[in-house]
């Protein structure tokens, strides 16, 4: 346990002394903040226009759940930004240790693979949490200024969804970083894999064959949609949790095989 915590602490330290962490945080805050503004203002404008129009025609305005629409859109944007920023967080996790030779210290210390990998994963999850905190603050702002009060559900599920999606992406990045000692190679491969997991949905199209169904199931974004709508479906949770376990398992296999090949 102490070993695990030491790795977590070290990982956080490594992230926060490098400029990468601050650039990632700054970009994420700026881009997500900008989109929050755009989405909110455009939706409010649309609702007002619809209100005017219905007044002109003397009919009741169509019912729109404004906070839900804003949150839904906002959390989808968050997921897209994550696709681009997660490779930046994970690219160095193992690649840098290999390049600098510090992996020799870790491998010759009485540490288990599990402590090492879980420690690194936890460190990055904490970073992700820090990254997503303003998101939840913004959502609560929306809640405060809404009349009548919207349900809190979508805020929680959206946040949980972003964490689960982020976690799955992080473990994929972790695994890829363990394959190489070059950060750029790790980041590029990671982008490639994310893009494939992203567009696989479109490739599957609307077909109903088993192949199409399978492809649709693999689409990492497909499982995220329900979270943004405030629906907590155990199938999606299971999907992301299994992705996380698969990623961690593959990382462990990769580290072991690196030892044998090295």
Give the interface with another protein as residue ranges (CB under 8 A). 2-3, 6-7, 9-10, 13-14, 17-18, 100-112, 259-262
CA dihedral 159→162→166→169, nearest 10 degrees, is 160
Closer to another protein at the Cβ: 113 or 146? 113
Lookup result for tokens 């402590």: 115
Closer to another protein at the Cβ: 43 or 258? 258
**Helix axis angle, 66-90 to 153-177, nearest 10°:** 20
CB of residue 29 vs another protein: minimum separation in angstroms? 24
Cα–Cα distance between 229 and 223 in angstroms, integer? 11
CB of residue 115 vs another protein: minimum separation in angstroms? 9
- The CA angle 91-239-253, to the nearest 5 degrees, is 45
CB of residue 17 vs another protein: minimum separation in angstroms? 4
CB of residue 224 vs another protein: minimum separation in angstroms? 35
Closer to another protein at the Cβ: 71 or 255? 255
Q: Which helix (H) or strand (E) holds 70?
A: helix 66-90
Closer to another protein at the Cβ: 116 or 243? 116
Closer to another protein at the Cβ: 15 or 220? 15
Cα–Cα distance between 163 and 165 in angstroms, integer? 6
Contact predicate 28/81, CB 8 Å: yes
Contact predicate 212/137, CB 8 Å: no
Instruction: Give the 3-state secondary structure of residue 262.
Output: coil
CB of residue 95 vs another protein: minimum separation in angstroms? 15
CB of residue 71 vs another protein: minimum separation in angstroms? 39
Whether the CA torsion 242, 238, 93, 123 is positive or negative: it is negative
Cα–Cα distance between 45 and 42 in angstroms, integer? 5
Closer to another protein at the Cβ: 241 or 258? 258
Closer to another protein at the Cβ: 46 or 259? 259
CB of residue 38 vs another protein: minimum separation in angstroms? 37
- The CA angle 199-201-207, to the nearest 5 degrees, is 140
Lookup result for tokens 């169509």: 62
């Amino acid at each position: 346990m102490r070993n695990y915590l030491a790795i977590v602490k070290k990982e956080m330290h490594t992230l926060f002394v490098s400029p990468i962490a601050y650039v990632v945080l700054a970009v994420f805050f700026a881009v997500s903040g900008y989109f929050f503004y755009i989405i909110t203002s455009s939706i409010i404008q649309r609702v007002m226009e619809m209100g005017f129009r219905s007044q002109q025609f003397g009919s009741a305005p169509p019912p729109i759940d404004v906070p839900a629409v804003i949150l839904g859109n906002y959390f989808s944007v968050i997921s897209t930004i994550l696709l681009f920023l997660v490779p930046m967080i994970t690219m160095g996790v193992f690649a840098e240790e290999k390049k600098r030779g510090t992996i020799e210290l870790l491998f010759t210390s009485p540490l288990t693979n599990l402590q090492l990998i879980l420690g690194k994963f936890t460190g990055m999850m904490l970073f992700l949490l820090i990254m997503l905190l303003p998101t939840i603050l913004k959502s609560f702002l929306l809640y405060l200024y809404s009349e009548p009060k919207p349900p809190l559900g979508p805020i929680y599920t959206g946040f949980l969804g972003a964490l689960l999606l982020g976690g799955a992406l992080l473990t994929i990045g972790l695994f890829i970083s363990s394959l190489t000692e070059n950060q750029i190679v790790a980041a590029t491969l990671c982008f490639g894999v994310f893009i494939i997991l992203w567009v696989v949905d479109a490739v599957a199209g609307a077909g109903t064959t088993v192949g199409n169904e399978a492809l649709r199931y693999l689409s990492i974004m497909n499982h995220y949609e329900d979270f943004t709508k405030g629906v907590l479906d155990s199938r999606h949770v299971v999907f992301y949790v299994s992705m996380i376990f698969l990623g961690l398992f593959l990382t462990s296999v990769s580290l072991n095989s690196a030892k044998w090949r090295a």
